[in-house]
Every structure is written in C-alpha cells, then in structure tokens.
C-alpha cells in the first residue's frame, strides 16, 4: 500500500506546520520553514531546549565524518564493555533489549556499509557547515559562536600513527588540520596539558557555541519574534490518513497541513504509531560544568582514547562525553561524571574541579551513526528529522534545510538515500 496523499494544502507557501520537539533540530526546522512563509508551531512536553540540547558539549563537529560503527570496532567493544566506567558501556539490565540494535551496529561496521555511511556523513557535514553560516547570518547570531578550533590528543606514537588514515579521510573531504608531534607544539595551542600527550591533530575551523542551551534559546527567540508559536504540550499520538494528519495533545487535537517529527530520543515512539519501526536507541551522555576560572581553556580539547572532551561554556569548562547504552527509563549513574572529572584533573593539571554541576542527557542514536531524514511511510505530510546521536547540534541547520526541501517538494541539495527512514 502506498503512502497517503494529503491534499488539503498547497505544497508551496502558507501551510500550517507542527514541529514536534523544541530541541536544536526542531527549533532550526521551525525557523527555516517559517522563513519560507509557513505558519509554524512547536510542541514539546517539557519546553525549550529541555533535553540533549541543554547540556551537550556545544561543538559543531563538521570534521567528524567517521561513523562510530567502524571496521574493528567490535574487537574493541568487549574490552570497553568490561569497564563499567569506560568510554562505552551497556547497562546489564538493558542488554537483552539492546541486542537487535547491536546486531545492526555490527552490520553497519562492515566495510561496505561503513564506506556508504562515511560518504553520506561527509556530504551531510559539508551541507551542515554552509547551512550553519547561513543560519548565523539570518539570525545575526555570531556573538554566540566561538571559532577557536579543536585539539585531538594522542598519548603515543602508535596511537598517533593509527589515527593518520582518519586524518587523510577528513582532509580529502575538505577539513583543514595541522598535525602536532610534541608536547611543546601542543602547548603552543593549549598550555597546561599533561605532557603524556605526545601528539595531536588541530582543526582550526572547528566552531563551538558559547552555550548550546543559549544558542537554542536564541534561535527560538528569533522564531517567536517573527510570529512563531511554542506550546508546552505532550504529543500523545500522531496519526495520518489520506486527507489529514493529526496530533493528539494533552488538552486538544490539532490538524496541521504538515508535521515535522524532531523529538530526539523519543521520536521512534510516535513514529511507531504510523507503522514505522525504527532502530533508534539512546546514548546517555554525562558531563560536569565547572564555573569560570576553572581552567584557561583556549580551544575544544578531545581526549579521544578516553571518550570525553573539554569545552568552554559561558567562560567555564564542561567535561563530558562517554557512551552509555541504557535507554530512557533507567536512573542516571553520575559516577560516570565523577570518573570523567577525575581523569580531566590528571590530564589538565591545575584544573579546579570544585563547584561543578552534573548533567545527563539522552542522545538519539541510530546503528549507522546517520540520522533519519525523510517522509513517513504513512504519509508524505509527516517528515522525520531525528536520530543524530551526538551530532544533533552540528547537523541541525542542514537538517532544517533538507526538511524544508521535503516540505516544499523540492529536490534536496544532497541525496537522502542513506538517511531514509526505509533504509532499515
């Protein structure tokens, strides 16, 4: 049976559009669709930037084109999984439920699938870089950006040599970088790091926001000032038939012309009601944000083999990362935040780790590290925009442009085959 054909609106301008999700992806989609002349309302059960958009590292990681599901990854996984505080962990209580996702992750790490995913990721990142600059210009948002680059650290010649193919791939896809081969060279960019880090790669064009929550709030402020609406309502059900789409909210039902589902780690629950069963899982990420003066951080620093980063947030320092696969319902384990902070203290002598605030957020993750961008199988009037993992902020402006193309029935700037909801 084919997709439902919704006929109650023109495919051009002036439609009523509901965006489900007030995180950075949903807000960016709403702002872009509004700019094309549509009447847009955002619905979110908790309000603006209340989940993953509130506490991430604030990085626009355009150089990160390599999928997490990589050849050889499964050989490393058992070692990581045996360490409950390591960079990748699976909560035992969740392991059985996670098995189907892990099988798809394993298949995505095969060389053929990996190559396809990397090509698609590179294309999406190229669009994301250009789309962010367009978004910054459109909203006059430059003051909320930090163009300080990123330093990826290595602890040995062997580790550094193993990273070179990845740097070559990034370079082939347009990323500028400098390779550093001594602690002294590293210190010229970021003083105060442990000299155990002997090599590094520096990407000078890397961008951070001064605060991811603040950036999302700023864009939402632009959207509201231009006539958009935001309602704190839970979408309890999403339905579509041959003539309409409908959202059942806490207090009433709405029937917009189009719907964009951008509810992050909760998106698959609504998609299931339309007949789309998508393998979305949750990377639970942890961090601690330290106040201003904790450390003189001059660039975004990635401790790759330890699975965490240090980023500058509102003049303070955010220490966070790691991947814990544990779903949406189990309680957080803030020991992970404490472990990361202790490691940071060793790697960044002089770090003042007092006065920090802890956070855990849910990253919506697909097995092949690619998001889901495309129409529901039930109706072209429902567009999916979720599953970005830890790259939601990075790819938000690009996703917004692609969603707008789909809503307007225009050819997208890049192929969407690799991010299609039907790929699984």
Q: What is the pLDDT of residues 97-155, one digit of tens each?
A: 989 998 999 899 998 899 999 999 999 999 999 999 999 999 999 999 999 999 999 99
Among residues of the chain, what percentage have pLDDT more than 70? 93
Q: What is the pLDDT of residue 86?
A: 67
How would residue 9 be classed by pLDDT, with cut points 50, 70 and 90? very low
Helix (H, G, I), strand (E, B) or coil at 78: helix
Q: pTM here?
A: 0.94
- Contact present, 203 and 177 (Cβ < 8 Å): yes
User: In 3D, which of 300, 235, 299 has the Cα closest to residue 273?
Assistant: 235
Q: What is the pLDDT of residue 69?
A: 84
Alpha helices in 109-202 (DSSP H): 111-139, 157-172, 183-189
Helices 111-139/212-225 angle, 10° precision: 60
The CB density around residue 188, as the number of other CB atoms within 10 Å, is 10
Q: What is the pLDDT of residues 381-422, one digit of tens each?
A: 999 999 999 999 999 999 999 999 999 999 999 999 999 999
Lowest mean pLDDT among 22-31, 85-94, 224-233: 85-94
How would residue 10 be classed by pLDDT, with cut points 50, 70 and 90? very low
Q: What is the pLDDT of residue 19?
A: 98
Q: What is the pLDDT of residues 199-246, one digit of tens each?
A: 999 999 999 999 999 999 999 999 999 999 999 999 999 999 877 899
């Amino acid at each position: 049976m084919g997709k439902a054909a919704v006929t109650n609106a023109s495919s051009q301008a002036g439609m009523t559009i509901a965006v489900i999700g007030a995180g950075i992806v949903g807000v960016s989609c709403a702002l872009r669709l509004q700019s094309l002349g549509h009447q847009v309302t955002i619905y979110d059960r908790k309000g603006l930037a209340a989940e993953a958009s509130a506490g991430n590292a604030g990085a626009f990681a355009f150089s990160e084109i390599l999928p997490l599901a990589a050849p050889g990854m499964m050989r490393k996984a058992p070692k990581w999984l045996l360490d409950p505080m390591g960079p990748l962990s699976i909560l035992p209580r969740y392991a059985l439920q996670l098995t189907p996702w892990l099988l798809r992750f394993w298949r995505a790490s095969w060389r053929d699938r990996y190559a396809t995913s990397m090509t698609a990721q590179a294309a999406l990142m190229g669009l994301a870089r250009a789309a962010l600059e367009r978004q910054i210009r459109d909203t006059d948002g430059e003051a909320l950006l930090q163009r300080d680059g990123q330093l990826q650290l290595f602890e040995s010649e062997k580790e550094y040599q193993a990273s070179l193919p990845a740097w070559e791939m990034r370079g082939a896809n347009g990323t500028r970088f400098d390779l550093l081969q001594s602690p002294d060279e590293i210190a010229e960019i970021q003083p105060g790091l442990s000299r155990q880090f002997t090599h590094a790669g520096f990407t000078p064009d890397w961008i951070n926001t001064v605060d991811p929550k603040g950036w999302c709030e700023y864009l939402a402020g632009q959207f509201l000032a231009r006539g958009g609406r935001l309602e704190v309502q839970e979408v309890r059900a999403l339905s579509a038939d041959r003539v309409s789409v409908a959202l059942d909210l806490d207090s009433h039902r709405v029937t917009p012309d189009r719907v964009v589902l951008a509810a992050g780690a909760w998106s698959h629950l609504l998609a299931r009601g339309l007949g789309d069963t998508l393998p979305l899982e949750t990377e639970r990420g942890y961090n601690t944000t330290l106040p201003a003066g904790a450390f003189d951080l001059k660039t975004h620093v990635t401790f790759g083999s330890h699975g965490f980063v240090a980023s500058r947030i509102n003049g303070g320092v955010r220490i966070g990362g790691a991947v814990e696969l544990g779903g949406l319902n189990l309680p957080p384990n803030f020991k992970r935040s404490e472990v990361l902070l202790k490691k940071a203290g060793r790697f960044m002598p002089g770090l003042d780790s007092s006065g920090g605030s802890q956070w855990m957020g849910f990253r919506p993750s697909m097995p092949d590290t690619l998001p889901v961008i495309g129409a529901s199988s039930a109706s072209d009037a429902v567009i999916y925009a979720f599953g970005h993992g830890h790259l939601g902020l990075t790819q938000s402006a690009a996703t917004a442009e692609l969603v707008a193309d789909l809503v307007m029935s225009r050819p997208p700037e890049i192929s969407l085959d690799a991010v299609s909801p039907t790929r699984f």
